[in-house]
Structure 1
């Protein structure tokens, strides 16, 4: 029996795997450098990766759903993601 996996799901999973590999690589680099300053620099660079992956995977998922849900719902989801990102960035 052959299972069909949608292209959007494969792309979303691929970006999440990439994100995880970047996180693991960053952890290894932090350990390798054994420096608080360099660890903070690496960690700061990761602050760009998380939101970017969130936006990309959400966009791919929404594009995969365009034939199944209304544009109004897509806009509401994007507004929700934007609110999450603004709130997270405002927690400094």
Structure 2
């Protein structure tokens, strides 16, 4: 089907597939339980998983780029990730 030589790309994709499976399972659980309170609890759990997956995938990507990108560009990428978290944490 797909041939990917880089193991980091495979790991990044697998993490995203796991995350997507978790999101879909949560959606079906919300429908199954049919209560707003339960759906909100499930959504709260997903709110913790999403940023964690993003950080893990970004970390894997940065590890893969470590030897290919200059230190200054790596700093810019890390600053960008930090700004994303800063932006979503402010009301």
Task: Tell me the TM-score normalized by structure 2.
Answer: 0.91
Structure 2 CA distance for aligned equivalents of residues 4 and 85 of structure 1 = 30
For the pair 1:6 / 2:9, whether they are aligned, the reply is no
Match of 2:5, SS state, is coil
How many residue pairs get aligned? The number is 89
Gaps of 5+ in 2: none
Deviations 1:64-91 (A, max 9, x none): 0111001221121111111101211223
> CA separation in 2, counterparts of 1:5 and 1:43?
36
Please give the root-mean-square deviation of Cα atoms over the aligned residues, in Å: 1.1
Aligned to 1:52, the other structure's residue is in SS state helix
1:10-44 Cα offsets, whole Å, 9 max, x none, are 00000000110010010011011110000011011
* Mapped partners of 1:4, 1:39: distance in 2: 38
Query: TM-score, normalised to structure 1's length?
Result: 0.90
Aligned partners of 2:22 and 2:4: how far apart in 1?
28
Kindly report structure 1 stretches of 4+ aligned residues shifted beyond 4 Å: none
Summarize the Cα distance change of 1:80–1:6 in structure 2 as closer, same or farther, 3 Å threshold.
Answer: same
What is the alpha-carbon distance in structure 1 between the residues aligned to residue 20 and residue 90 of structure 2? Answer: 24
Structure 1 unaligned regions, length at least 5: none
